[in-house]
Amino acid sequence: MPPPLLSVVAAAMCALPAFAAPPTVLTTSPEHGRAGVDAQRTPQIIARFDQPMRTGSHSWVGGGAMFPKLSGQPHWLDPQTAALPVSLEPDHDYVLSLNGGRYHNFRSARGEPLEPYQLAFSTRALPTTTEHNRAALDALRDAITHHYSYRDRLGVGWAKHLDALEGDIVASDSTLRLATRLADALSPARDIHIGVHLDSWSFSTHRANPEPNFNRRVLGHAIPSLTTHSDAVHSARIDEHTGYLLVTTWSTAAEPGPGAVAALRDMHDVDRLIIDVRPNAGGDELQARMLGACFVTEPVVYAKNTNIDPDRPGEFLGPYDRVLPPAPASDRFGGQVVVLMGARCMSSNEAFLLMMRAAGATLVGQRSFGASGNPRSYDLGQGVRVTLPSWRAMTAQGDPVEGVGIEPDIEVDQAPREGGRRDPVLEAAIRALDHPSP
């Protein structure tokens, strides 16, 4: 079985001044979107870059059954060509990325990191026809026109744009190629909630990788007594009066809502609380609402949204209030609350920030990313699906969230430094608790 995550890193060269442009992938073999790859005749995956690279390191990233089995060590064929020896299986689907997550060791000779590059291919044939491809494209056109709530946000002329790409899309030689070309076609939306899906593959159309203002290692120095309740929920007592609660995701699979409420219940005797959601990129708003409900005594409007009217393209229904109901009295917290936030806060986590603002908490850190879509899935045929945002999210005052984000009450530009021991955002939160605004 392949490892759950691979990032092969060798000794790095000395840093040089930044290159004018980061490196890009020119070609891969197999190429992205290729089906019917000959497993026996593909002993290695090869990536060629547009400029000389730092040949002392690699980041081939991935895991699970779709990550190829390795038959040797990653190496460089020349300063612009990297190779990953593999042992492919017949009738098998694969996906991996060059750089991704915490791993960014594919870098130019001057130290610029490669933007994460997804590579998907299959040793299955996955046949399609031009008629099926055309029908999928027509279904996508209809979905964008009738169901995409941010269709006009950036002024993309979708009809003209898709017409220009029609030839390549219709000529796709497999359903995998079709899916990857449709994903590329949707990239001008710059929308993290748009994705194209086929079987076990998911192709994002826009990658968001803002600089974090959170560092787990630094946090370990600042709060050495951190207790892990689950992958998503961690807590500590900073002192006898101050509790700390870290929630890293609102994904339903991690059940962070009940876990966070239970951790809060264990700190019933503190009268000040810091909630840290800086690394949280969202998930299920209902999970976030479970914790947010612990900080209100009566229902409160925390956000609004309008929904696209599928019967009238370009028109919307609403606005509708999103209301935070109070939790049972036994789970409520009545003390001071500060919430730590940053640029990686997005989607349902931005809804949580709005809940906590409505509950009277002080938000500390950096502006959130600005992305809230409530995506819905639409069938394009041939097993291909697209997810598109279905609403326009707003604050309780009616201000847009998409592309804008949520501004903190106390802005902290500094972030924890790798290898350091200070967390400026956490320190600012403690100062806010010690000296609350009138």
User: What DSSP state is assigned to residue 329?
Assistant: G
CB atoms closer than 10 angstroms to residue 246: 26
pLDDT at 438: 66
CA gap 292, 356 in Å, rounded:
6
Given a contact cutoff of 8 angstroms between Cβ atoms, the answer to whether 217 and 176 are in contact is: no
322: tokens are 């999103």
**72-88 residue pLDDT tens:** 999 999 999 999 999 99
**101-149 residue pLDDT tens:** 889 999 999 999 999 999 999 999 999 999 999 999 999 999 999 999 9
Which residue's entry shows tokens 């021991």? 421
Given a contact cutoff of 8 angstroms between Cβ atoms, the answer to whether 2 and 63 are in contact is: yes
pLDDT at 207: 82
pLDDT at 126: 97
Helix (H) and strand (E) counts for the chain? 8, 22
Sheet of 233-237: strands edge to edge?
Answer: 227-228, 233-237, 242-247, 272-276, 336-341, 362-365, 410-411
Query: Does the pLDDT value for residue 238 go beyond 80?
Result: yes
State which amino acid sits at residue 417. R
CA gap 175, 185 in Å, rounded:
15
Confidence category of residue 288, pLDDT binned at 50, 70, 90 = very high
Q: Which fold has domain 216-434?
A: 2-enoyl-CoA Hydratase; Chain A, domain 1 (3.90.226)
Confidence category of residue 20, pLDDT binned at 50, 70, 90 = low
Query: Does the pLDDT value for residue 305 go beyond 80?
Result: yes
Task: Judge residue 245's burial from the number of C-beta atoms within 10 Å of its C-beta, 0-12 exposed, 13-18 middle, 19 or more buried.
Answer: buried
Task: Judge residue 420's burial from the number of C-beta atoms within 10 Å of its C-beta, 0-12 exposed, 13-18 middle, 19 or more buried.
Answer: middle
Closest C-alpha among 42, 43, 45, 74 to residue 58 = 74
Q: What is the CATH number of domain 25-122?
A: 2.60.40.1220
CB atoms closer than 10 angstroms to residue 255: 15
**406-418 residue pLDDT tens:** 999 999 999 998 7
**155-165 residue pLDDT tens:** 999 999 999 99
Torsions phi, psi of 432, nearest 5? -65, -35
CB atoms closer than 10 angstroms to residue 160: 8
| Distances 393 to 153, 345, 346, 361, 396 between C-alpha atoms, Å | 13, 15, 12, 21, 10
Q: Which long-range contacts (CB under 8 A, 24 or more apart) does 427-436 make?
A: 428/364, 428/365, 429/274, 429/338, 429/340, 429/364, 430/238, 430/242, 430/274, 432/338, 432/362, 432/364, 433/242, 433/272, 433/274, 433/336, 433/338, 436/336, 436/362
Query: Is the pTM higher than 0.75?
Result: yes
Domain ranges of the chain: 25-122, 130-204, 216-434
